[in-house]
């Protein structure tokens, strides 16, 4: 090795220093290649994740559209089941009247009753058709829920003139809207029909209805004056279809399913002085 002497006795090794720079440069090149490769891998990963996010977003959009179609099909099926339930009573009455007419009776009142029952069946079928068309062709309408309930009560009383209803309404005008007035109306009709039949069976054609709206929370209470239900019947009511001599036994079940789909909760209990109390609770969704 070549050594250089200085005047003060120090030595330098320039060739040795030159040899040490080659591994350092090689190390820097390796670091550069590693950095470039890492950058390419990161760019590829980000691009792949972005593509995956786009695919998942498209799949989510398709699922949302599919869910919307399924909800429409469920609504149409609910309307059809409600129509079948509503048609059961007038059709049964028509059968009885036709049997009496076949026996030779020509009572004018019986013929008038027969005509009214036929008109009621036609009205139910027409309402089913209109509901399906409205669901298929129009956007959901936003309407204050308390107005939907009051309008449903008025329409129902027209169809049941033999029932007297005592209604009390207490509202603080807080926002509580409905996006599906048809479903609310149909469910309430089923509950009211069962309550009216219970009161009539006890020879007391009276219903009591209380509506309370406080801070966006709606409480609806419907009380009939029938004979009430046993503990077993009360536990099963509304949870599954049950046998009914007057109809198909679907009314309370359809009402529960429809209201729960809208986000409401339904409970029932026997009143202390007789009859059944149906309570509906609904909390307004944020606007």
What's the topology of domain 141-287? Answer: Heat Shock Protein 90 (3.30.565)
Residue 188's nearest CA partner among 154, 237, 141 is: 154
pTM of the model: 0.57
Other C-beta atoms within 10 Å of 142: how many?
11
**Consecutive H or E run containing 56:** helix 14-102
Binned at pLDDT 50, 70 and 90, residue 129 comes out as low
Chain centre to alpha carbon of residue 81: 16
Other C-beta atoms within 10 Å of 187: how many?
28
Residue 86's nearest CA partner among 129, 125, 140, 139 is: 125
Average pLDDT, the chain: 76
Over residues 61-70, mean pLDDT = 67
Chain centre to alpha carbon of residue 269: 24
Domain positions in the chain are 141-287
Give the tens place of pLDDT for each residue, 153-168. 888 887 788 889 999 9
Give the tens place of pLDDT for each residue, 81-107. 666 666 767 777 777 777 777 666 666
pLDDT score for 209: 93
Binned at pLDDT 50, 70 and 90, residue 12 comes out as very low
Give the tens place of pLDDT for each residue, 171-209. 888 888 877 787 888 889 889 988 998 899 888 889 999
pLDDT score for 127: 67
pLDDT score for 222: 93
| Token duo for residue 112 | 């008038």
């Amino acid at each position: 090795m070549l050594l250089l002497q200085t005047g003060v006795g120090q030595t330098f090794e320039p060739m040795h220093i030159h040899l040490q720079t080659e591994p350092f440069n090689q190390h820097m090149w390796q670091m550069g290649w590693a950095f470039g490769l890492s950058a390419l891998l990161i760019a590829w990963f980000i691009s792949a994740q972005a593509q995956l996010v786009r695919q998942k977003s498209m799949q989510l959009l398709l699922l949302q559209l599919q869910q919307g179609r399924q909800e429409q099909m469920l609504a149409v099926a609910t309307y059809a089941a409600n129509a079948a339930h509503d048609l059961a009573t007038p059709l049964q009455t028509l059968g009885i009247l036709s049997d009496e007419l076949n026996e030779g009776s020509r009572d004018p009142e019986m013929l008038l009753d027969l005509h009214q029952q036929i008109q009621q069946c036609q009205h139910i079928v027409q309402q089913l058709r209109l509901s399906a068309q409205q669901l298929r062709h129009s956007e959901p309408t936003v309407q204050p829920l308390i107005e939907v309930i009051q309008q449903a009560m008025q329409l129902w009383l027209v169809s049941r003139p033999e029932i007297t209803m005592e209604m009390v309404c207490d509202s603080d005008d807080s926002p509580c809207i409905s996006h599906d007035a048809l479903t609310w109306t149909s469910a309430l009709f089923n509950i009211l029909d069962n309550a009216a039949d219970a009161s009539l069976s006890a020879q007391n054609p009276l219903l009591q209805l209380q509506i309370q709206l406080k801070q966006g929370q709606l409480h609806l209470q419907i009380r009939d004056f029938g004979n009430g239900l046993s503990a077993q019947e009360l536990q099963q009511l509304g949870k599954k279809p049950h046998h009914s001599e007057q109809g198909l036994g679907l009314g309370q079940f359809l009402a529960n399913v429809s209201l729960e789909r809208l986000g409401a909760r339904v409970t029932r209990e026997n009143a202390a002085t007789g009859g059944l109390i149906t309570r509906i609770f609904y909390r307004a969704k944020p606007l």
